[in-house]
């Protein structure tokens, strides 16, 4: 089964976690795009969605699901999103699609985070995928120097501006032995808006595609 077929299978499995008649949190990426298209089959039971990116908002509107501002809702029951890497503790690296900041906000505002991914995303230790860091443009060089001091090799993602008007540094070669400490350390660098480690707020459920079907991992 191809990675894309696995993404489609986990996206369809995630429908089971969608609470009817409630506003839903929706992430970003190719796996989530499958999820949004699958969600269209139950759009009559979905009053709206809080979206983590302009790209997901467009697709939600295209399939007839109204997009709602996070400021209009108190708390979300469920957030569904993909990941670039996941470990067995359901800690994640996210931000391959540059939507990490809004993703982290919507995840924080949700009681249950359901992560959907193909099996290639499950790793023993996080860090093979370069860690995305969203940075205020004027702080790019300063933040890059500080990330080097943490042992990483930051690479400017040329030509990418986030939905928040910022830039992305992708940090290669990080040894992520303590994801929570590293997430906090990077957050403490002046000029960093957000980093793609989701360790303080990991996923609650990971639906993982595999050739044999969808596996469910829970914390």
Q: Which residue numbers are catalytic? A: 103
Query: Which C-beta is closer to ligand 5RP: that of 152 or that of 196?
Result: 196
Query: Which C-beta is closer to ligand 5RP: that of 98 or that of 133?
Result: 98
- CB 11 → ligand 5RP: shortest distance, Å? 9
CA distance 152 to 171: 6
Q: Which long-range contacts (CB under 8 A, 24 or more apart) does 17-22 make?
A: 17/78, 17/80, 17/112, 17/114, 17/205, 18/42, 18/46, 18/78, 18/80, 19/77, 19/78, 20/45, 20/46, 21/45, 21/46, 21/47, 22/47, 22/76, 22/77, 22/78
CA distance 34 to 40: 10
- CB 80 → ligand 5RP: shortest distance, Å? 10
- CB 59 → ligand 5RP: shortest distance, Å? 13
Query: Which C-beta is closer to ligand 5RP: that of 30 or that of 77?
Result: 30
First and final C-alpha spacing in the chain: 26
Residue among 145, 35, 42 at smallest CA distance from 51 = 35
- CB 17 → ligand 5RP: shortest distance, Å? 16
Binding site for ligand 5RP (CB under 6 A): 27-31, 81-84, 94-100, 103
* H-type alpha helices, 25-139: 30-39, 54-62, 100-108
- CB 44 → ligand 5RP: shortest distance, Å? 26
Query: Which C-beta is closer to ligand 5RP: that of 159 or that of 190?
Result: 159
Query: Which C-beta is closer to ligand 5RP: that of 55 or that of 142?
Result: 55
CA distance 132 to 72: 29
CA distance 55 to 192: 23
């Amino acid at each position: 089964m191809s990675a894309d077929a696995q993404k489609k299978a986990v996206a369809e499995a995630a429908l089971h976690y969608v609470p009817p008649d409630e506003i839903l949190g929706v992430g970003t990426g190719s796996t989530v795009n499958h999820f949004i298209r699958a969600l269209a089959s139950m759009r009559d039971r979905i009053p709206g969605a809080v979206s983590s990116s302009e790209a997901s908002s467009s697709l939600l509107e295209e399939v007839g699901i109204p997009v709602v501002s996070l400021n209009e809702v108190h708390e979300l029951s469920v957030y569904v999103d993909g990941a670039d890497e996941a470990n067995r503790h359901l800690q994640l690296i996210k931000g391959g699609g540059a939507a990490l900041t809004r993703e982290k906000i919507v995840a924080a505002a949700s009681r249950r985070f359901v992560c959907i991914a193909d099996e290639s995303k499950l790793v023993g230790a996080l860090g093979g995928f370069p860690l995305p860091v969203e940075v205020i443009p004027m702080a790019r060089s300063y933040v890059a120097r500080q990330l080097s001091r943490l042992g990483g090799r930051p690479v400017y993602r040329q030509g990418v501006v986030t939905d928040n008007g910022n830039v992305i540094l992708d940090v290669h070669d990080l040894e992520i032995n303590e994801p929570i400490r590293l997430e906090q350390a990077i957050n403490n660098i002046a000029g960093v808006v957000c980093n793609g480690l989701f360790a303080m707020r990991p996923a609650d459920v990971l639906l993982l595609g595999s050739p044999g079907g969808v596996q469910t991992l829970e914390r």
